[in-house]
Amino acid sequence: DVKVTQSSRYLVKRTGEKVFLECVQDMDHENMFWYRQDPGLGLRLIYFSYDVKMKEKGDIPEGYSVSREKKERFSLILESASTNQTSMYLCASSRTGYDGELFFGEGSRLTVL
């Protein structure tokens, strides 16, 4: 059974803390993505990576960074969390190509106080 696993389902952090969200996929996919999902705004792409050590900014990269040191792992980092980063964060992976299947993790709900 294919799987994308996110390290934490629920996190509560304080303003200014550094936050790491980790994601691991077991499908040998080239592409990995971080989205955030907010009511009324839908899914918005933060960053994606199409290869180890490669990264591309998405629509809302400000306040975030990412790391992809191994093909199966893609980390999202909030250097100094702020209350407007309270959200549901979804990691996903896909093969390169047009078959359209994006596999998501279960999500990490982050609350910044």
Partner 1 sequence: RKEVEQDPGPFNVPEGATVAFNCTYSNSASQSFFWYRQDCRKEPKLLMSVYSSGNEDGRFTAQLNRASQYISLLIRDSKLSDSATYLCVVIHNYGQNFVFGPGTRLSVLP
Q: Which of 34, 47, 48, 74 binds partner 1 (CB under 8 A)?
A: 48
Task: Using DSSP bridges, classify how beta strands 87-94 and 108-112 pair: parallel, antiparallel or unpaired.
Answer: antiparallel
Alpha-carbon span 18 to 24, nearest angstrom: 20
* Contact assessment for residue 67 and residue 59, using Cβ atoms and an 8 Å cutoff: no
Under rule CB under 8 A, residue 40 binds partner 1: yes
Site for partner 1 in 49-108 (CB under 8 A): 50, 56, 90, 92, 94-102, 104-107
Min dist CB 4 to partner 1, Å, is: 8
**Cβ neighbours, 10 Å, residue 113:** 10
Q: Which of 41, 57, 65, 111 binds partner 1 (CB under 8 A)?
A: 41
Alpha-carbon span 3 to 76, nearest angstrom: 18
Task: Using DSSP bridges, classify how beta strands 73-78 and 65-70 pair: parallel, antiparallel or unpaired.
Answer: antiparallel
Q: Compare residues 76 and 105 and give the one whose CB is closer to partner 1.
A: 105
Please report, as ranges, the residues that interact with partner 1 according to CB under 8 A: 31, 33, 35, 40-43, 45, 48, 50, 56, 90, 92, 94-102, 104-107
